[in-house]
Structure 1
Amino acid sequence: MTDAKIIETARLLLHPLTVDQARRVVDGVPGAGERWGEGYPGDGDVRSARGFLVGVAERGDPGAYRPYAIRLLADGSTVGGIGFHGPPDADGVVTVGYGLVPGARGRGYASEALRGLIARAREAGVTAVRGDADLDNVASQRVMEAAGMAYEGEDEVVRHYRLVLED
């Protein structure tokens, strides 16, 4: 299994959540020296941290395929989360999710973070990345498009996106 490591982009650090950090996210209490942006953690961050904790308890450490805190490189504040919903399936495909606090939206951080996570997936040998967004969540749809993911279709609830990773 590929180890988790910090992913650095031009303006962000994607910091892999540890079990202790995930517990703090669930409890809503930052650790010593952690800076959380206003509104962090959001509901999605808490759900992701809970799922991570359950997965670790049931299957062990997921290596690279975990949630990551999105931190601003400039000041280290956590402004959201991004990550894999689990390890790759039998075909090598992973599903991703992300979210930002309201004050960090509209600055390109989500697309930048997603491009960083996709690069990490490629490095880990993933064959494709998929994601989805609610039909009315145009901003999230644009994030996936800006990161190179292609629209694949929709159902009555979400639009589906995918990026096939070439060697």
Structure 2
Amino acid sequence: MGVAEVLLHTYDIACGLGAERWRPPGRLSQSLLAHLFPHVQPGPDPARTLLWATGRGELPGRPEVTSWHWHNAIVLPVEDEEAADVLELRELSPAAAMDLSVGGTAGHTWLGDDPDEGSRAAGAMVARAYARGTHRPEWGTFVLVRLRDERALGTVGFHGPPDETGSAEVGYGLQEKARGHGHATAALRALAVWGLGQPGSPTLRARVDPDNRASQAVLRRAGFTPADPPVVEDLDEGMDLRYERRA
């Protein structure tokens, strides 16, 4: 937010002094958009996109911006009386998601040092949606963090916002060392409570490999039940079991 204030008000001052050609640095603008403006589809000129997104200019093909806001990543508490650890779900910004997808840590210290492949895939999903302009803040990926040592245990989140039927798909995965402690169940339950509490009370869906009994148990403990029909065929991944949870 401090970077945003400096760049945007420097532009305002420059315009006031007659230096309308001054533009915020491109790389800083790109990073700022991906951190604080996840609802804004990136454009070919990051500085110009930033100025447009904050009501300071025009952008071909996009409507005039008359009011604007930035997005602060949300944090969801994970309440589980049976768990010994206090946990939080922290929303992953597109900037952090891109870093995670290309081998970075997304700014977290991970249990076991390196993020698991499922978390990297989740980051890549957010990054692709952001690039397409279909990413919707709060309906992406969350990092599960253990508060006592600030270790990231894995990721839990949505595959995108609710569709036209009000249905959203969830996914989850933990570092191997974090499994077996009830963390996935507690995190998925917290995510489901938040998602089902949003306007429209969407149905939450999940797909799981028929042989993954542990993941099926997580879904059942988190309040999901087999869907009707319970089996779906994916041309790329074969047969999956379907679960759902309604408000």
TM above 0.5, one fold? yes
Aligned residues: CA RMSD: 2.0
Report the alpha carbon displacement of residue 137 of structure 1 after superposing the two structures with TM: 0.4
157 and 31 in structure 1: CA distance in 2 versus 1, 3 angstrom threshold: closer
For 1:24, the equivalent position in structure 2 comes to 99
Q: TM-score, normalised by structure 1?
A: 0.89
Corresponding position of 1:157: 239
Q: Which deviates further from its counterpart, 69-78 or 57-66?
A: 57-66
Shift of residue 3 of structure 1?
7.3
Structure 1 pair 47–68 and aligned structure 2 pair: CA distance change class (3 A): same
1:146 partner letter? R
Q: What is the aligned-residue identity percentage?
A: 28
Cross-structure match for 1:9: 78
Secondary structure of the 2:138 match is coil
Quick one: distance in 1 between partners of 2:186 and 2:127? 26
Structure 1: stretches of 5+ with no match in the other structure: none
Question: Higher Cα Rg: structure 1 or 2?
Answer: 2
Cα distance in 2 for partners of 1:97, 1:39 equals: 22
Alpha-carbon deviations, 1:19-53, whole Å to 9, x = none?
22112212323366x31111642222111111111
Amino acid at match of 1:45: S
Provide the C-alpha distance between the structure 1 equivalents of 2:165 and 2:215, rounded to a whole number of angstroms.
Answer: 25
Do structure 1's residue 67 and structure 2's residue 144 form an aligned pair?
Answer: no
> In the TM superposition, what whole-angstrom CA distance separates every residue of 1:75-103 from its partner, at most 9, and x where no partner exists?
21001001100010111111000000110
Q: Deviations over 1:122-143 (max 9, x none)?
A: 2222321010110110000001
Contact 2:105/2:115, CA 8 A, preserved across alignment: no
Distance in structure 2 (CA, Å) of the matches to 1:149 and 1:3: 30
Amino acid at match of 2:92: L
May I ask how many residue pairs the two structures share in their alignment? 164
Paired with 1:162 and 1:31, the residues of 2 have a C-alpha distance of 30
1:89 is aligned to: 163
* Residue of structure 2 in register with 1:98 after alignment: 172
Q: Which amino acid aligns with 1:162?
A: E
Tell me, which stretches of 5 or more residues in structure 2 are unaligned? 1-38, 40-70, 80-85, 233-237
Name the counterpart of 1:50.
124
Give yes or no for contact 2:105–2:114 (8 Å, CA) kept in 1: no
CA gap of 1:113–1:40, structure 2 versus 1, over 3 A, is farther
1:63 is displaced (CA, Å) by: 1.4
In structure 2, the CA distance between the partners of 1:157 and 1:61, relative to structure 1 (3 Å rule), is closer
Question: What are the within-5 Å matches in structure 2 for residues 116-127 of structure 1?
Answer: 116-125=190-199, 126-127=201-202
Shift of 1:74: 2.0
Higher share of residues assigned strand: 1
Between the aligned partners of 1:132 and 1:40, the Cα distance in structure 2 is 26
For CA contacts below 8 A with separation 6 or more, give which structure has more relative contact order: 1
